[in-house]
Structure 1
């Protein structure tokens, strides 16, 4: 049963990706931007990380407004706020400028709630990949600890989006099936 749900979810994701539906512009911003680099300075890793957290928060706020939904987005927004609050002191500790939140310039919200779940899955997978890549670097212990926490949180968010996608594709989702 679970494998059938995963297959349905993957089919939806492939369809959406083939049609070019994305939540964030593909550019040098957040996790997508991080994956275009091969080597990172500490500052670059922190910038990509906070950009991705800004982007997630902005996307989920926009989704909640557009589709008049709360969960799982409201819970995940709280997590994104926590993630940002974990990153800010690292910028301060290392004397790096905290980037301005320009995530609004990078938002593209899909037309249906089902698409948002599918894109949420992709976004969290990208986020997990970004943090896993960063954790392969030589990092100060406090930075490593924060990245490990953020990676674990993204794994939880991924589960929430997979569950939402499964419910939505089976006709149990809210609006915009």
Structure 2
């Protein structure tokens, strides 16, 4: 990811209970980790309309729930939280560590899985908490070198819902 200006990813999530009860039809398919196709549900025999992204993550099925509660891949197609972080969050973390301002956006309809990818749920931590954990581990490791460096971390998270900005600004100052 270093050197990239904009990376675009799409992720398909499992059906929720409401969709299962409605016997929703899966109209999304993904191929080669970069292509996402969508079919017209009224004509499933028609070829899908294909779109290309930097990353296309299949998280609809192909996972097993470990005893810890983590959703781990049971086949190579499934993209777990670790895969999403490695592809998207690690570059943000590396660039932030170098002193660059970084942004990560999640866009989609309500219920599409943005919060799960960004924040996660229980043992399935999303990009933001993993970035924070790794960032503070790096800071602690460097502080042990006793080089007198002070660290200042600013994290801003904003939600835009129904065209209204709801925001929380978290500012942390770390150092001696």
TM (normalized to structure 2)?
0.31
TM (normalized to structure 1)?
0.31
Structure number with greater Rg is: 2
Greater fraction strand: 2
Larger RCO (CA within 8 A; separation ≥ 6): 1
Greater fraction helix: 1
